């Protein structure tokens, strides 16, 4: 048994935050059905999971973690009969997830108010950049813009340098997809008490600020705004920083507590530094000594040595190194998945380890529309009716 077994999700989303959200739900057992648009209605003319059955396409799908544990149907929601099919699917669904710009689902006739009249137990999540209200609701954007508005990008980097762009992890995946999955499961818990679903308005810009709750507390309490590389946790402290080693690779230190700081001073041969942890005027001297010291050995040599003396330290990995790290492998953060026609492929594993209802990767990503016939059969459409719907361009 899995934690979300029996929960049915209709996923209308397209870009990374939405598919990541539904991947999380699917990993924990939800039955996720991608409701995809016909390719001609996508701006770039491509589907999320193109239906081509050549070897290269199958391999791309097999390695696409964001599409795993999902089924796919293609419905033309611009057609009345297409919307009627979607309404039928909503009758037995628990969750609808969409990631369009505000107003799109209303124009398509698949908005929360419409669906709630069909199924008042539905949890309907709209995941967007700036949310369904506010002066920026219509403004387009990507992760870099949401972390800018949310205040995160402004203090990531080094003093005197332009902000360092941390890839699209903070807004798209953490403040967006992860926050949406958390919100959906919370709304499902609430439904268990009230018997009714509800609308969930998830804005990635909100999610970024929510992630900054601790930093924002200091500012709202009258303190200064964090600056790039100026705080104890973003590069100013010599004992909470990264250092280049003899092989050109980097080591990260996090020796904040006094006993870790004392141990670090002993390792680098400067016990006289022990009383200077908070002496900001001496930090440049301390950092210079650390820089010189850590260039004497390779990254992995330092890691092995410092771990042995109970130090807060870790190698700074490239992603391929992280995927092969023995700890990450022992935690099953890389798993093997069987893919029809391909064989075994490797994918990222399940993050949360539930003792009684663990998540798992059951299937690789589907081809677009792979389950159209089976889904329609499940709502009472016979072979002739499905063929007619396909001929009319209602499904594909």
Residue 28 tokens read as 């924990």
Check whether 319 has a pLDDT greater than 90.
Answer: yes
Distance CA 272, CA 261 (A): 12
Residue 144 tokens read as 């870099």
Q: Which residues make beta-bridge pairs with 30?
A: none
Q: Per-residue pLDDT tens for 128-171?
A: 999 999 999 999 999 999 999 999 999 999 999 999 999 999 99
Q: Per-residue pLDDT tens for 341-351?
A: 899 999 999 99
Q: Specify the pLDDT at position 32.
A: 98
Q: Per-residue pLDDT tens for 17-45?
A: 999 999 999 999 999 999 999 988 766 54
Say how many C-beta atoms besides its own lie within 10 A of residue 124's C-beta. Answer: 27
Closest CA to 197 of 128, 112, 98: 112
pLDDT mean over 379-390 = 97
Q: Specify the pLDDT at position 287.
A: 97
Q: Which domains does the chain have, with CATH numbers?
A: 8-212+366-391 (3.40.50.10540), 242-324 (3.30.1540.10)
Check whether 11 has a pLDDT greater than 70.
Answer: yes
Dihedral sign for Cα 293, 294, 298, 302, please.
positive
Closest CA to 139 of 183, 203, 44: 203
Check whether 369 has a pLDDT greater than 60.
Answer: yes
What Rg value do the Cα atoms of the chain yield, rounded? 25
Percent of the chain with pLDDT over 70: 97
Enzyme catalytic residues: 142, 172
Distance CA 275, CA 330 (A): 39
Q: Which residues make beta-bridge pairs with 343?
A: 339
Helix (H) or strand (E) holding 250: strand 250-253
Q: Per-residue pLDDT tens for 263-301?
A: 999 999 999 999 999 999 999 999 999 999 999 999 999
The rounded mean pLDDT for the chain is 96
């Amino acid at each position: 048994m899995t934690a979300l077994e029996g929960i049915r999700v209709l996923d209308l989303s397209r870009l990374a935050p939405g598919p990541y959200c539904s991947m999380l739900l699917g990993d924990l057992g939800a039955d996720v059905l991608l409701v995809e648009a016909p390719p001609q209605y996508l701006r770039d003319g491509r589907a999320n999971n193109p239906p081509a059955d050549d070897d290269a396409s199958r391999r791309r799908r097999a390695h696409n973690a964001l599409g795993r544990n999902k089924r796919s149907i293609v419905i033309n929601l611009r057609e009345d009969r297409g919307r009627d099919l979607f309404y039928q699917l909503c009758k037995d669904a628990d969750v609808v997830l969409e990631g369009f710009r505000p107003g799109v689902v209303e124009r398509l006739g698949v908005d929360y108010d419409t669906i709630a009249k069909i199924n008042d137990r539905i949890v309907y999540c709209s995941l967007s950049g700036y949310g369904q209200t506010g002066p920026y609701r219509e403004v387009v954007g990507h992760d870099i813009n949401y972390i800018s508005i949310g205040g995160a990008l402004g203090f990531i980097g080094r003093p005197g340098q332009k902000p360092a762009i941390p890839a699209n992890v903070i807004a798209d995946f953490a403040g967006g997809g992860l926050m949406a999955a958390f919100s959906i499961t919370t709304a499902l818990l609430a439904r268990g008490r009230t018997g009714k679903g509800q609308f969930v308005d998830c804005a990635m810009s909100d999610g970024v600020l929510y992630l900054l709750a601790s930093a924002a507390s200091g500012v709202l309490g009258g303190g200064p705004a964090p600056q790039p590389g100026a705080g104890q946790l973003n590069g100013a402290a010599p004992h909470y920083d990264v250092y280049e080693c003899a092989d050109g690779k980097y080591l990260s230190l996090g020796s904040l507590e006094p006993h870790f700081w004392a141990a670090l001073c002993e390792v680098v041969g400067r016990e006289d530094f022990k009383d200077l942890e908070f002496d900001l005027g001496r930090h440049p001297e301390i950092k210079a000594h650390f820089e010189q010291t850590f260039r004497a050995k390779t990254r992995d040599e330092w890691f092995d040595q410092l771990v042995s003396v109970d130090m807060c330290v870790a190698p700074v990995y490239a992603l391929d190194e992280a995927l092969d790290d023995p700890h990450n492998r022992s935690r099953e953060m890389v798993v093997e998945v069987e893919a029809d026609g391909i064989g075994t492929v490797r994918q990222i594993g399940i993050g949360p380890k539930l003792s009684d209802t663990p998540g798992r990767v059951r299937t690789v990503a589907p081809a677009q529309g792979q389950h159209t016939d089976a889904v329609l059969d499940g709502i009472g459409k016979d072979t002739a009716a499905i063929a007619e719907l396909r001929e009319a361009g209602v499904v594909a």
